[in-house]
Amino acid sequence: MNPENMIANPKNTIAVLKKYDFVFQKRFGQNFLIDQHVLNKIINAAAITKEDTVLEIGPGIGSMTQYLLENAGHVIAVEIDKALIPILSDTLKDYDNLTLINEDILKLDINRIVKEHNGGKPIKVVANLPYYITTPIIMGLFESNVPIDNITVMVQKEVALRMQAAPGTKDYGALSLAVQFYSDPYIVANVPPNCFMPRPNVGSAVIRLSRLEEKPVKPVDEKLMFTLIRAAFNWRRKTLVNCVSSTPELGVGKDDMVRILEEAGLSATIRGEALSLAQYALLSDKILEHRQ
């Protein structure tokens, strides 16, 4: 791979954009990567080999796709912006291991795609995600039980910090718990705004989410556990007792919640950000027992 010929070379990115009079769409959160060191870090972090089928979300003009095609066996690139499809068909015309899909990733049956293109075996997911839609995409992949080895994504730096955060820290919240229920998060690199075209207003980070073979906790009712977690972080300054009693779908009053916390060996004044995933699983089981 000659770096001079790669799409991610800023000179080549500008040439492609000019050739097609491409106009960046704010609604799609388009920021194209123009730093080849960062692209190499992503490929290495995802541990991509010729044995792998990779799902890329939002290929743009193909900067990262080209690196993926050079390193993976097969790349399925899903792009929502139909104006980019003819550009991708041109910039990546020399590769025969690409499947290009013009679709909204949130509406696509990814399990079907994996079955068709990889016989249902685990894929690797790589993406430079628009910031406003990061959480729905990642949680959608996990919750729909798509067979995944790892998800290596470029996200807003503060989102990466939240995904990796531990109990009691300022970044810890419902997203930390949801991501850590399904995966082991690891921040690979911080990426400054000048690595993109156009430059975003915020710093970014590459984070790898390695799918856990076994979930770290096994609550009787997962949905109830996540209802409890969301309630706990809806009002960050309230105690858990007040958060739970203000959430009708949990069906637990203040006095009962105080008793449940005592049974779990926890203080009646504890707040949600102090609790671990294991403690949320335990409390949701106790709430279930109480309701029955």
Q: Are 126 and 64 a contacting pair, CB within 8 Å? A: yes
pLDDT band per the 50, 70, 90 thresholds, residue 249: very high
**What's the rounded Cα separation, in Å, for the pair 224 and 195?**
41
Fold classified for 3-211: Rossmann fold (3.40.50)
Estimate the crossing angle of helix 277-291 against helix 254-263, to 10 degrees: 120
Give the model confidence (pLDDT) of 52-80 as tens digits: 999 999 999 999 999 999 999 999 999 99
Q: pTM of the full predicted structure?
A: 0.92
Give the model confidence (pLDDT) of 125-176 as tens digits: 999 987 778 999 999 999 999 999 999 999 999 999 999 999 999 999 999 9
With a CB cutoff of 8 Å and minimum separation 6, the contacts of 63 are: 6, 7, 8, 13, 32, 33, 34, 39
User: Where do the domains of the chain lie?
Assistant: 3-211, 222-291
Which CATH code, of 1.10.8.100, 3.40.640.10, 3.30.70.120, 1.10.3720.10, is assigned to 222-291?
1.10.8.100
